[in-house]
């Protein structure tokens, strides 16, 4: 799209090669479900595939127009408002807009694509409305549902779709793309290390100061959590980023995975933080780190279920400090 290196990363992926084969062999499914927490990758992948199918070449002039959401036969929902912003929740109005234009003929070729972002946010009413269309779509209509997680989706919706689960990127490919797009950025090493192979996380770490500060805050919390006496102060530190608490727990998990790798002599994900990982490894034994992982999982689960952030932060830090002392 507007960043060629990222578009090339997506179009060079194994997932796109699989989709391109569907196109080449005339085996295009009327409905796809693209599954990954890497939202940016799903955006690029779905737009490129729709452009290929509608225009015959995703890199042609019309193909680029389609990838940018400006082609009449590639409709993207939730639709952008007058300021170009898109909601991150699919509403009944979006599905109504799709079903209302379903039987319109494509303006150019014989195909039109509906791309639904944030598919996992559809409620049961939205999904049931969409299901009728997925069961008997017009010959010219094709659908791509992008979702971070399929568990909120009805099994009947999932069963009507061909599932595509893109692999994560190698650190080498992410680093090369990030260097091309952000040559002046001084956080690329950390961003790539912390990305877990996902382009979306990598870009946010490199360009979103709030996201990067939340990571620094998570690391500082673990470095200063010496005992249970420090829990209140560190809970306050964590809750300074209450709106990023889920991400903070993920950062804890990432850091502790590197502590485990350090104990086992393996490669670190966050190699640029080696000195900090060494300090944490000196304080957290391998046994403590292994036992901390379920506590992190439970904290993430509680947050997904709208658990009280203050309670979740307090309990998690207490468990971390307790396990640290227990396994000394």
Write the pLDDT tens digit of every residue in 183-225: 988 889 888 887 888 999 899 889 888 888 898 999 999 999 9
Q: Are residues 130 and 9 in the same domain?
A: yes
Examine residue 305 and state whether it is found in any structural domain, yes or no: yes
Give the residue from 124, 135, 134, 150 showing the smallest Cα distance to 35: 150
The phi and psi torsions of 150 (rounded to 5 degrees) equal -90, -10
Q: What is the pLDDT of residues 270-324, one digit of tens each?
A: 777 889 999 999 999 999 999 999 999 999 889 888 889 999 999 999 999 999 9
User: What contacts 289, CB < 8 A, 6 or more positions away?
Assistant: 256, 259, 260, 263
Examine residue 239 and state whether it is found in any structural domain, yes or no: yes
User: What contacts 83, CB < 8 A, 6 or more positions away?
Assistant: none
Do β-strands 74-77 and 31-35 pair in parallel, antiparallel, or remain unpaired? unpaired
What is the pLDDT at residue 108? Answer: 85
State the CATH number of the domain containing residue 86: 3.40.50.300
State the CATH number of the domain containing residue 263: 1.20.272
**Average confidence (pLDDT) over 155-184:** 94
Q: Are residues 62 and 120 in the same domain?
A: yes
- Quick count: other Cβ atoms within 10 Å of Cβ 110? 11
**pLDDT at residue 144 is higher than 90:** yes
Per DSSP, helices labelled H in the chain are: 4-11, 14-24, 39-55, 61-67, 92-101, 124-135, 155-159, 171-181, 188-194, 199-207, 209-224, 231-239, 245-264, 274-283, 286-304, 309-326
Its domain, for residue 35, covers 4-164
Domain count, the chain: 2
To 5 degrees, how large is the angle CA 145–CA 158–CA 129? 70
User: Are the C-beta atoms of residues 295 and 324 closer than 8 Å to each other?
Assistant: no
**pLDDT at residue 1 is higher than 70:** no
User: What contacts 155, CB < 8 A, 6 or more positions away?
Assistant: none
Q: Are residues 151 and 219 in the same domain?
A: no
pTM for the predicted model, two decimal places: 0.80
Percent of the residues in the chain that have a pLDDT greater than 90, as a whole number: 70
Examine residue 175 and state whether it is found in any structural domain, yes or no: no
Least confident of 44-48, 69-73, 282-286: 69-73
Question: 136-168 b/e with 16+ CB inside 10 Å = b?
Answer: ebeebbbbbbbbbebeebbeebbebbbebebeb
Q: What is the pLDDT of residues 216-275, one digit of tens each?
A: 999 999 999 988 888 989 889 999 888 889 889 988 998 998 999 999 998 787 777 889
Q: Are residues 115 and 225 in the same domain?
A: no
């Amino acid at each position: 799209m507007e960043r060629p290196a990222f578009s090339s990363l997506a179009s060079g992926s194994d997932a796109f090669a699989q989709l391109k084969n569907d196109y080449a062999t005339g085996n295009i499914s009327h409905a796809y479900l693209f599954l990954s927490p890497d939202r940016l990758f799903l955006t690029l992948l779905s737009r490129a595939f729709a452009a290929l199918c509608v225009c015959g070449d995703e890199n042609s002039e019309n193909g680029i127009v389609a990838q940018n959401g400006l082609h009449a036969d590639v409709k993207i929902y939730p639709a952008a408002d007058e300021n170009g912003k898109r909601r991150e929740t699919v509403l009944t109005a979006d599905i109504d807009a799709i079903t209302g234009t379903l039987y319109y003929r494509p303006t150019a070729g014989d195909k039109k694509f509906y791309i639904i972002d944030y598919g996992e946010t559809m409620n049961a009413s939205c999904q049931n409305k969409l299901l009728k269309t997925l069961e008997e779509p017009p010959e010219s209509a094709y659908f791509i549902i992008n979702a971070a997680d399929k568990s909120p989706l009805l099994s009947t919706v999932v069963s009507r779709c061909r599932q595509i689960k893109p692999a994560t990127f190698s650190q080498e490919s992410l680093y090369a793309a990030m260097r091309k797009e952000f040559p002046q950025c001084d956080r690329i090493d950390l961003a790539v290390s912390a990305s877990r192979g996902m382009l979306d996380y990598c870009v946010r770490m490199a360009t979103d100061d709030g996201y990067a500060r939340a990571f620094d805050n998570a690391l500082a919390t673990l470095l200063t959590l010496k005992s249970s006496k420090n829990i209140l102060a560190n809970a306050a530190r964590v809750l300074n980023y209450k709106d990023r608490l889920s991400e903070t727990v993920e950062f804890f998990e990432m850091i502790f995975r590197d502590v485990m790798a350090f104990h086992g002599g393996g490669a670190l994900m966050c190699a640029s933080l080696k000195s900090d990982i060494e300090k944490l490894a000196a304080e957290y034994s391998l046994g403590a780190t292994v036992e901390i992982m379920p506590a992190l999982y439970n904290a993430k689960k509680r947050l997904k279920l709208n658990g009280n952030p203050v309670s979740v932060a307090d309990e998690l830090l207490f468990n971390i400090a307790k396990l640290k002392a227990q396994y000394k």
